[in-house]
Chain A
């Protein structure tokens, strides 16, 4: 009997030992992602890992769903470029299958605070702000003194923060009014929801960040065009100043734009119709090389715009140039061939030779590896011209305008008329050239706002054709979304 109990005891001990847990039984780390402590440990061993957090901010710019939805127009910065072009009316939704952009172009969602159309840009740009604040905090905070490689990283984070605030200010504030209160400001990742700051405070923050970035980025030789270098920071700062509309700020914008305009060669006539799909084109100041690893397909800029991609554009969610704008393009202008001028064609006035996949087979390209352009030197050339025109430096303005137009025409006769322009006529011409040159790149909207334009849609739109709509019409600016009003106790 004793023996039996002894044996049982041994069996039980074996069973219990075999099945008991070790001390770290309940400690688990993810492998799908990397957690902060693993990142810190890995970073100590291999510092290059830490630099990945800055790249993460740039990846945000093209990552789908960053506007907080699974909508197929929620595709990062370029997605809001499309919104902007549509609001400015230069991009017409001329057939609305599948429903994307319908409510936007009907201008009903921009006044419905419950609509996700308002939520997505708000969510996206504030998401960028949070990731920059995390980076800035990691490098010592807003007033840190940083040196060497860290200074470049710090400067990029600050420039990206300003970039995000800039787009928020354009999309959510009707017009520059220093005393208006629209945007809450966050400069650290651990702040709770904040009340709305004055527009002046938002601008001061952007200007401070960008001025510091411009200084710190001196000598920074970036490894790829997705990074913000000094010229990109200068361009952002030029846009900020230009949007304020004071003479003083216009002059600052002019200086900055002139600097940048001189630093790059312009897009050539051939490149104008080469597809806008390659970041290595020298005129591209800021953009990203999209590769298979980014995993983009239908939900992408190309999936919305390019008829040669497996895209909504190809299946009757047609984005075309406003007919009136197209008609305003000189017949000899190389940019006129970017758009399909074939009345009645289902792809009429689509940018079939501006943005396209090189296969040029309708609905043909499935995996998107065509690149994204964020900024081109032409916009700074045109901004310099615009600022100069506004500040009565007409010679400077015409010189910049000509710098562009000589790359758009074969025969100087065709654009000689600009030399005769002055005053508002000259400014109007510069604005027109900006709209033509930058179509589909999200810049017309910025121009519309800072130049206080009245838009009027051409006949190939589906709604509001021929109706005059002022730049500060509430339908052209996004509403603060319901989730902010609902969940930020300081905003009602």
Chain B
């Protein structure tokens, strides 16, 4: 149809043209992009309205005369201008990257890079697809300045925590809003197959996010799924297969059993010396090294020696050379971790005509983690169909469905954690149970050998074995997830459209925690199941009127809309035990005959209603103005439900001014500024402000327990965001630079104000205090080399963030602002950031006796030059506030409790962090790397602290650094004397374990090869791409095992599933 129409048009034009300008000639050629011929490209003779479109094969024919300039333009591609020469043939390749006219999806509409007044960064599919990830949140790592992506777990299928522009709230919500195809998204981001995503836009500033009102304060991530293209039928298949494994370094712990025994022996000898330095350390250590109460349980003596005097040479402290063992304890890492497969396949089909466009896909992912029985499997499918039944009506249905199964064994934050075992179990303990001769015992139930649950008195995690549990128990869920939206756009009149969109997201999830009846915690109740069932339905209705008008150089777009959003969540759970059928139905409640705890079930409902409008105006496509207003009502607040938000933004395309015409190195220069007021409603509970009671059974009577106090006046947290920015393209389009500076003041902070718990409540959530985030973001991209067969690009982005409390909440007991609020290791007070550490100061190790030392600050009231009882300061900030004129002195103490808590001058917020990318192409090869970096911050390495303990020998493993412990007077070291079960405060929270969180990681590396030869084309294939890629290949940090990129504050946890490393081989074929 279209071809016919074009033909007629061409014919008509030809006739007209022939009549008027007989000297013209016919120019013809093909317009293509990197993937092949491009239909529908507009070809216009500059300065006229004469033009044609390319046909299905990208061909065009147009009458023009020599010297005319042909303008080739296509949405999303750089417009190309070619002067007609002597040849009648003119082929053009359009390029699609980084273009000013490129359509940018923004809130409730589209814009272009050139005209948008706010900060929106588009991350397109080609960048997302470099990484072997299960969801887009992980793929965003390093892509956008000011966006921090925290991969909190290596469990396949985990969504990352995303923070845009710092820490928006103290205790409220810091998560951005996800919007999928124009509908606020409340499901799991995992249900959107990244292969279906055309582009992701991150909205950061007020102009960009204010239209989302009460949900935009922490930034917005817009996800646009793929659509079909007019006239282009494409079948694309990509297949990836690869390996997951644990490659990033872990803590350098003692793994040699002899080394552990020697260290334990040393620690035990020190124990008696700590009681009395004249005691016989060797004799004591020999007696108690293996001892059922004070030392390592005798059952775990794996040597063929019971008399320790024959085991350890007292002169060297080493295990004697000729010692033999009953068995060699297994290295638990070898059994807990594995190299596993990751396979992914996606089939995509798309196409369309003038009236109908479609995109359909099917994806399969099977991602096995490096911890046994941790995996994620997903089947996903999507159909996006657009049809124009009438010229003035466009209807669209875009539906996606995903079914996923997740197994996350071995990851609980308790003795079920494989990670805890791997790093913390002393290397003397065997994985498998041994008989008295040291032989393994065959398992009559599951086959193989019986695992050792440590019930013979293992000092570490007795009666548990996380590796056995990970094999024989099951923690996992399956999830059906549907998301879709249905929209109708009606052109009511010229320039006036009515848009109606219904968005729906639904999921149902069943989680099962199943314990086997033979080993571990389920053995005592003959097997057990804990099952939760939940489902959630979110419905979003949008009615929107849009009016556009161009009058001379004035261009307007106005929209008015009403939107409502309703969320319903149902939850129930049940616990049963005593399993019957061991062959089938282990995940079914009927298969267990005893109820072990009461069932629960409830619903959560919340809703938001909104009215909003926006005005976009530009003059001569040079000066742009955007203003929007949104009024939101939220059911989350008890009384004060409604809030009004809005923004205004300007931008100025300076390069279009006459005075810039001579500045040749500037291709594009935009200055922009914006200001807005945006809220956040998600930081409070769904039923905030409603005092309530829990409902329980007490001996068959109703029992109502008072829940934590609520504040009925709780309402919106509002952020005032100001931004200035510049976007530029310089030196013949070689360098792109964008800079943004913002100040975000959040008022009425959702603040968990702590109270003296003698009130009966320890905290109350209030709107009080003020927080300022400010920052500079930079994003620089350069084309270092741009040749036909060789190109090299370098991109660098980053943020410099500062965060400061401007005001603290009022304490009603005094009517004044609270001086200090301590939250964990961080102190909150005016002038400090959220993450300024408030700790006791480590003062090193006493050279004379190996004692740990901390600083105690005191006011020497009696001026005797030393610290006395009653002079010690517990908490410095408050003391200074109360006693501003007192002179403060400092002393060291070996008593941990006496040390003073204070701001230690270190913050978890880095000075600068971001990412850089080097990528390029050489003939048919292409490569891409992405590194992430962070500089200038500090984190608390709690997992390391746990490995530097003075606990009873055999209770936990040590880091190898323990070998630097103080041994004799005069030793200068930072590791105190190692004593079994004495001086246990050595590793208590202090600056001792505050560690620089500087890091450099290689997030991603990909090398690809594209076959485009005629052979391939003859086979009907337009493009074949083969690549190999690696994710999380490298991490440089202050200490092996310390990975500050896995949590918001960089603090470590011994239970964390450290990111997995993936190496993938991929193949993509386009038909």
Contact = CB atoms under 8 A, between A and B. Distances in A.
7 closest Cβ pairs, A-B complex:
A130-B760, A488-B756, A19-B541, A52-B702, A55-B703, A32-B602, A366-B525
A298 to B, nearest CB: 9
B73 interface: no
B609 A53 contact: no
Contact of A55 (B541, B686, B702, B952): B702
Interface stretch (A80-88, A120-128, A149-157): A120-128
B598 A293 contact: yes
B758 A193 contact: yes
Contacts of A32: 602-604
B502 A19 contact: yes
18 contacts: A16-B500, A19-B564, A20-B541, A25-B635, A29-B690, A30-B604, A33-B692, A34-B695, A56-B693, A59-B703, A97-B955, A130-B706, A361-B524, A365-B524, A367-B596, A483-B822, A485-B874, A486-B875
Contact of B702 (A16, A27, A48, A189): A48
Contacts of B294: 462
A363 B294 CA distance: 22
Interface stretch (A236-244, A309-317, A405-413, A441-449): A309-317
A236 B821 CA distance: 37
Interface stretch (B438-446, B455-463, B551-559): B455-463
A112 interface: yes
Interface in A184-212: 184, 186, 189, 191-194
B524 A364 contact: yes
A351 to B, nearest CB: 18
A186 B693 contact: no
A39 B821 CA distance: 35
Given A16-B543, A367-B597, A59 B463 contact: no
A53 to B, nearest CB: 5
B756 A292 contact: no
Interface string A247-276: 000000000000000000000000000000
Contacts of B521: 310, 366
Contact of A484 (B564, B757, B896, B984): B757
Contacts of A36: 690-692
B820 interface: yes
A26 B635 contact: yes
Contacts of B692: 30, 33-36
Given A52-B703, A487-B755, A103 B694 contact: no
A37 to B, nearest CB: 8
A367 B525 contact: yes
Given A15-B488, A111-B897, A292-B597, 15 more contacts: A25-B566, A30-B690, A31-B603, A32-B604, A35-B687, A95-B292, A114-B901, A126-B760, A131-B705, A189-B760, A194-B758, A291-B697, A294-B697, A487-B818, A488-B755
A489 B760 contact: no
Interface in A1-23: 4-5, 8, 11-12, 15-16, 18-21
A66 B692 CA distance: 16
A407 to B, nearest CB: 28
B802 to A, nearest CB: 26
A148 interface: no
Contacts of A429: none
A490 B498 CA distance: 62
A143 interface: no
B490 interface: yes
- How big is the A interface, by class? 35 or more
B193 interface: no
B691 A35 contact: yes
B762 interface: yes
B462 A316 contact: yes
A63 interface: yes
B315 interface: no
A28 B699 contact: no
A224 interface: yes
B704 interface: yes
Interface string B499-534: 010100000000000000000010011001000000
Interface string A265-309: 000000000000000000000001101111101000000000000
A366 B577 contact: yes
Contacts of A103: 984
Interface string B456-489: 0111111110000000000000000000000010
A85 to B, nearest CB: 20
Contacts of B811: 193, 487, 489
A455 to B, nearest CB: 20
A224 B702 CA distance: 13
A52 B502 CA distance: 44
Contact of B607 (A28, A98, A126, A489): A28
A30 B984 contact: no
B634 A26 contact: yes
A293 B599 CA distance: 9
A344 B882 CA distance: 56
B1016 interface: no
A338 interface: no
A170 interface: no
Contact of A133 (B698, B760, B821): B760
B621 interface: no
A314 B686 contact: no
B602 A192 contact: no
Q: Which of B460, B493, B703 has the most chain A CB atoms closer than 10 A to its own CB?
A: B703
A226 B697 CA distance: 13
Contacts of A26: 607-609, 633-635, 641
Contacts of B607: 21, 25-26, 28
Contacts of B525: 310, 366-367
A243 B340 CA distance: 66
B596 A491 contact: no
B961 interface: no
A60 B708 CA distance: 13
A447 B641 CA distance: 55
A289 B699 contact: yes
A108 interface: yes
Contacts of A226: 698-699
Given A16-B543, A28-B607, A365-B524, A94 B813 contact: no
Given A293-B598, A316-B457, A487-B754, A28 B606 contact: yes
A112 B878 contact: no
B760 A488 contact: no
B707 interface: yes
Nearest to B874: A113
A52 B704 CA distance: 5
Given A20-B564, A489-B814, A127 B760 contact: yes
Contacts of B904: none
A388 interface: no
A33 B691 CA distance: 10
Contact of A30 (B459, B461, B488, B687): B687
A126 B757 contact: yes
B849 interface: no
Contact of B984 (A102, A114, A288, A364): A102
A35 B641 CA distance: 18
